[in-house]
Amino acid sequence: MRKSEAMPEPTEAPYSPGVAAIFEVVARLRAPGGCPWDREQTHESLRPYLLEETYELLEAIDSGDDAKIKEELGDLLLQVAMHAEIAAEQRRFDAAQVLEAVAAKMVARHPHVFGDVTVAAFGSFMYATFVPGYQPLAGSANLITGANNTNWKQWVVGLQFGYAGFTVGGSYGYDNLGLGGNYYTGVDNDNRKYTAGIMYETGPWQASVGWGRVVNNNGNGSVSALGVVSGTSVIQVAAAANSSAAFGTNLNTGALSFGTEQADKFEIGASYALGPGIKVLGGGVYYNVAGQSNLTAQQSWQLFLGMDLRF
């Protein structure tokens, strides 16, 4: 009876299990004492192999052969590991940074999957003093129309919510334009501003709709256009010579128009990321301004299409 021969001890694989395996093998191949061919490769010299492995993976996918697909995915991952190791040797970036960057990018592109509820609030305030000249009344007020300067105040508050790819927000603001209440009408000339908007982002797509409104009580009144100078874009208006003319009804002598003025803006836009740092975007804006004067009653619209490139 033959004596049984001792079975050889299993050899431990020279790499860690899982995704790290190929990156460790490539690091060893390119290290001193590794493979001369692997050590001399560069990003440029590996270009044809990257293309070749990509086509072979596509062929394997078309064949439906799981074994071939697994093999070709590995070959393509080898190319990724080689390029990452070359960069790591030059202290530019390493494999871990490559993997973390693509993971972070996918999380950012899918807030509807990974996103949590977010809340943001903001506010600001501005105050600037006004000091009239040596003749306070003449320096700070128009005695014909009753308009007058005062300390300038601005403030705005806003709130924003985000969840599952949606961002909804709005704000309210105030601006007295540095003007006090009219001496004769007692009505202010302050701007009150409202905004609201919603944005949705999923994958490479981003779309948004927004609205804004500014309301002014127009306590100082508005002049009206009498015509346009022939051959130019100069608008003709009349300046009132006295308070009677300013608060009269004859536009040709500078009568002012009183009543609330309001401007609305509606906008819609969308963008699509073609690749890293490249976006195609487009949208439209519509303005509607309403008021008592023909200079404060108008509409306009805009359409745009563009590309955002970031390097």
With beta carbons less than 8 A apart as the criterion, state whether 290 and 296 touch. Answer: yes
162, 117 Cβ separation under 8 angstroms: yes
Q: With 0-12 CB in 10 A as exposed, 13-18 as middle and 19+ as buried, what is 23?
A: buried
Cα–Cα dist 292/278, whole Å = 46
* Statement: residue 4 has pLDDT above 50: no
Structure tokens at 183: 């001496």
* Residue 190 confidence (pLDDT) above 80: yes
Determine the residue type at 79: Q
How far is the CA of 296 from the CAs of 38, 132, 215, 262, 292, in angstroms?
73, 30, 12, 8, 7
Specify the pTM.
0.63
CATH 1.10.3720.10 fits 111-222+257-309, yes or no: no
Tell me the domain boundaries of the chain: 20-106, 111-222+257-309
Q: Give the integer Cα–Cα distance in Å for 232 and 184.
A: 36
In this prediction, residues 230-234 reach a mean pLDDT of 86
- pLDDT-derived band at 105, boundaries 50, 70, 90: confident
pLDDT over 70, % of the chain: 93
Q: What is d(CA 83, CA 96) in angstroms, rounded to the nearest whole number? A: 12
Q: Give residue 133's pLDDT.
A: 59
- Beta partners for 173? 156, 193
Q: Which residues contact 197 (CB under 8 A, 6 or more apart)?
A: 168, 169, 170, 208, 209, 210, 211
Per-residue model confidence as pLDDT tens digits over 15-62: 888 889 999 999 999 999 999 999 999 999 999 999 999 999 999 999
Q: Average pLDDT, stretch 230-239? A: 88
What whole-number distance in Å separates Cα of residue 150 and Cα of residue 179?
5
Specify the CATH superfamily of domain 20-106. MazG-like (1.10.287.1080)
Name the residue among 299, 303, 300 with its Cα closest to residue 283.
Answer: 303
Q: Do domains 20-106 and 111-222+257-309 have the same CATH topology?
A: no
Amino acid at 81: A
Q: Can you tell me the mean pLDDT for 165-183?
A: 94
